[in-house]
Structure 1
Amino acid sequence: MVEEIASLKTLILSLIRLHDADREADKEIAKHFGWTVVEKTLKDPTTSDESIRSDWFNHEGENLKVPRYTSNLDSAISLLALASPSVYGGFSWAPGVGAAKFNDEKPVQAKTPAIAICVQALLMRLRALQIPPNAG
C-alpha cells in the first residue's frame, strides 16, 4: 500500500503540471482504478521483427481500450464513481485553466477541467487508502 500511495502522489503532481492530454497519464490513472495490462511479444513471421501488444482489462475484466481520462470529460467524470460512492460538486474552465471541486474538499486547478477532475478522483483514492477502514 505504501508504494501505491507514493505512486498516487507522484501521478497527482504530474497531472497538475500537465500541459495537455496525455495517453501515458491515462494509463497510469487506469492502473490506480483496477485496470491491468497484459503485454504480449509478437513476432512477424516474414521479417522476424518483434513488437509488443498491450491488452488492457478494466476492473470488471473486460478487454477494452483505456479511456481518455485526461482529454474527455465523460471519461474523467466516470472516475468519480469509482473513487467514491456518493460524489457531488462541479467543474469549471476559463482559457488555459480548468478547476474541479467535489464533496467538501478544496478545489483543484489544472490545465483543463478533465485533468482537474482526474486529480480530484485520484485525491479521493489517496484519502481512502490513508484512512483506516474502521475510522469515522
Structure 2
Amino acid sequence: MAISDLILQLQHAKGPNYDLDVSIGIVMGYKRKVEMRGPDESKDRKVVWLYPKKGDEVSLPRFTENLEDAYFLTRSILPGCVGGVSWDEEGGTAKLDNGAYFTAATPALALCIAALSGAFAEDDDAPETLPNSLPPS
C-alpha cells in the first residue's frame, strides 16, 4: 500500500482499526511471521511480529488506538520533532513542527496522520516502507 493511500484511509477511519495498525507496522519495518504452534495433531496458527531493528518477537503496537503507540510512531519516523495533540467531543487534532493541522476521529489517528505526512511530505517518490534509519529532522 502506498503511503498516500494509508494516510487517506487513516483520515477516513471512524476509530481504531487493527488493519491500519498492521499497515503502519509494515511501513515501519515490522516483519510478520506465521508459526504453527502446539502438538502435531492440533497445531494452531499464530502470527508473530518481529521488531524492525533487533528482530525480537513483540506485540504489534496499536498505533490507531493508543496515543502512546502513536507517539512511538512519531518519534521513530520523525526523531527530534515537536508538536501537539488535542481532542474534543468531535475527535482529535495533531500538528508536528511547522506542518499542517490534521484532524481525525481520535487523537491517536490524528497523530499517526501527522507523523506519516511529515515523514513523506507529498513526495511522489516516497518509499513503500521506511528506511532502516532516518536522519534526525
Structure-1-length-normalised TM-score: 0.80
Runs of 4+ in 1 over 2 A off after TM superposition: 40-47, 127-130
Q: Which has the larger radius of gyration?
A: 1
Structure 1 partner of 2:3: 8
What SS is found at the alignment partner of 1:66?
Answer: coil
Fraction of identical pairs, as percent = 26
Query: Which whole-Å CA distance do the structure 1 matches of 2:41 and 2:22 have between them?
Result: 32
What is the rounded CA distance, in whole Å, between the counterparts of 1:89 and 1:115 in structure 2?
15
Partner of 1:78: 72
Query: Aligned with 1:59: secondary structure?
Result: coil
Correspondence 1:29-48 to 2 at 5 A:
29-41=24-36, 45-46=40-41
Residue of structure 2 equivalent to 1:134: none
- The answer to which structure has the higher helix fraction is 1
Backbone CA RMSD of aligned residues: 2.1
Taking the aligned partners of 1:53 and 1:125, their CA distance within structure 2 comes to 32
Partner SS for 1:69: coil
Number of residue pairs the alignment of both structures matches: 124
For structure 2, which runs of at least 5 residues remain unmatched after alignment? Answer: 127-137
Q: Does 1:26 align with 2:2?
A: no
Q: What residue is the counterpart of 2:50 in the other structure? A: 57
2: distance between equivalents of 1:43 and 1:68? Answer: 27
> Cα distance, 1:40 vs. partner?
2.7
The 2-side partners of 1:38 and 1:45 are apart by 19
Of 55-64 and 99-108, more deviation after overlay is shown by 55-64
Separation in structure 1 between the aligned mates of residue 25 and residue 18 of structure 2, nearest angstrom: 10
Question: SS of the residue aligned with 1:10?
Answer: helix
2:79 and 2:61 map into 1 onto residues whose CA distance is 20
Q: Distance in 2 between matches of 1:120 and 1:35?
A: 20
Question: Secondary structure of the equivalent of 2:57?
Answer: coil
Gaps of 5+ in 1: 1-5, 131-136
Instruction: Give, in whole Å, the separation in 2 of the partners of 1:124 and 1:10.
Output: 15
Shift of 1:26: 0.8
